[in-house]
Structure 1
Amino acid sequence: MADHNELGKEGEKIAVNYLLKNGYDILTTNYVYLKGEIDIIAQKGSTIVIVEVKTRSTPDFGDPQDFLKPAQIKRLVSTADHYIEHHAGDDIEARFDIIAIIKNKAGTKIEHLENAFYHF
């Protein structure tokens, strides 16, 4: 597996632990529908939280969250719609978060961006 894939998987584990420590329930990870994949689907209260994890080893070329492109957002929304339609109740609200992680020899920095984008 390429180093960037390993860093991405490690970032997802860090994000899951972060969410658990902050009172979220993890419903599933790596949920796939058609060409879309959601890194983490969590719940806090009556809100389903669709989490995209972006991990980088350096911020030199931009913050991790800056690497989320419109086409990827469109796939996330479609995949989230499928998950909610098939796995969640009618009175559920949903939001899209990004957890941006910079992990290198100097340490790990986590930034949680709630309501990072809207699906309308």
Structure 2
Amino acid sequence: MRAKDALGQRGEALAVNYLEETGLRVVDRNWRCADGEIDIVAIDGSVLVVVEVKTRASLAYGHPFEAITEAKLQRLQRLAGAWCRFHSLRFRRRRIDAVAVLDDGSGPVDIEYLKAVG
């Protein structure tokens, strides 16, 4: 496995733990369809939450949240609908959240969480 892929998997695992500690119920991970992938699907009360996770070892290429473009947010909205259709579920409310994980491997990991980014 490439180092970048291992870092991404570690970041997603840390994000899942963090989200569960904040009270979200994670119901799916790395869900894929022809249109793309959702990193994490969670439930927050009665709200479906699609979570985009960006993990970096440093800020050399910018903050992880900078990689979440308007086009990416629109794709995640479409993927949320596809996930609901695939699972035959309906949610009156859906939101897109984002988690940034900074892990340089030398100490504590920094996790930032933004709700309703798109």
- Structures share fold, TM-score greater than 0.5: yes
> Matched residue pairs, number?
116
> Which runs of no fewer than 5 residues in structure 2 stay unpaired?
none
Q: How does 1:70-89 map to 2 (within 5 A)?
A: 70-87=70-87, 88-89=89-90
Q: CA RMSD in A?
A: 1.4
> Which runs of no fewer than 5 residues in structure 1 stay unpaired?
none
Distance 1:38 1:79 in 2: 7
Structure with higher strand content = 1
Task: Work out whether residues 73 and 96 of structure 2, in 8 Å CA contact, stay in contact via their aligned partners in 1.
Answer: no
Q: Secondary structure at the match of 1:77?
A: helix
Distance 1:86 1:92 in 2: 16
What are the Cα deviations for residues 4-43 of structure 1, in whole angstroms up to 9, with x where unaligned?
1110000000000001111111110011111310000000
Instruction: Name the residue aligned to 2:67.
Output: 67
Instruction: Name the residue aligned to 1:106.
Output: 107
**Runs of 4+ that moved beyond 4 A:** none
Fraction of identical pairs, as percent: 34
Task: Work out whether residues 101 and 111 of structure 1, in 8 Å CA contact, stay in contact via their aligned partners in 2.
Answer: yes
Q: Secondary structure at the match of 1:27?
A: strand
Q: TM-score, normalised by structure 1?
A: 0.88
Distance 2:29 2:35 in 1: 16
Q: Secondary structure at the match of 2:96?
A: strand
Instruction: Name the residue aligned to 1:19.
Output: 19
Distance 1:79 1:32 in 2: 9
Task: Work out whether residues 47 and 92 of structure 2, in 8 Å CA contact, stay in contact via their aligned partners in 1.
Answer: yes
Q: TM-score, normalised by structure 2?
A: 0.90
